[in-house]
Amino acid sequence: SQQGEEDPQALSIQEGENATMNCSYKTSINNLQWYRQNSGRGLVHLILIRSNEREKHSGRLRVTLDTSKKSSSLLITASRAADTASYFCATDRTSGSRLTFGEGTQLTVNP
């Protein structure tokens, strides 16, 4: 079973716009990670935010974490057609040493 949910399930935007994806989870975590997956390929690690952090930036990516609400968001600014992919949040729970993935958001950036 999935640890949490992602929203929206699908998002379609124009190049240059910002894309925001949200993730909710259920249990205490050590950290939360975001991954990108291009169609049928492996997952690429984007960013990791620890439970004691509230916000983190990496290039055009901004991740926030609210442990009181058990939620996170991923913002991609100035999106490009190459950002078209599925994006997954994954939680590293305090009770285990595995990642538990959300259902993913399919992002389509139209040129």
Residues that bind another protein in the complex, under the rule CB under 8 A: 2, 30-31, 33, 35, 40-45, 48, 88, 90, 92, 96-104
Q: Whole-number minimum distance, CB 68 to another protein, in Å?
A: 22
Sorted by sequence, the CB contacts under 8 Å of residue 76 that are 6+ apart come out as 18, 19, 20, 60, 61, 83, 107
Nearest approach, Cβ of residue 60 and another protein (Å): 18
Q: How far is the CB of 16 from another protein (least distance, A)?
A: 29
State the amino acid at position 77 in one-letter form: T
**Residue closer to another protein, measured from CB, 15 or 37:** 37
- How far is 20 from 62, CA to CA, in rounded Å? 9
In angstroms, give the least distance from the CB of 30 to another protein.
6
Contact at 8 Å (CB) between 8 and 87?
no
- Region for 70 from its dihedrals, namely left if φ exceeds 0, alpha if ψ lies in -120 to 50, beta otherwise: left
Identity of the residue, 11 or 99, whose beta carbon is nearer to another protein in the bound complex: 99
State the amino acid at position 62 in one-letter form: R
The residue (of 31 and 77) whose beta carbon lies closer to another protein is 31
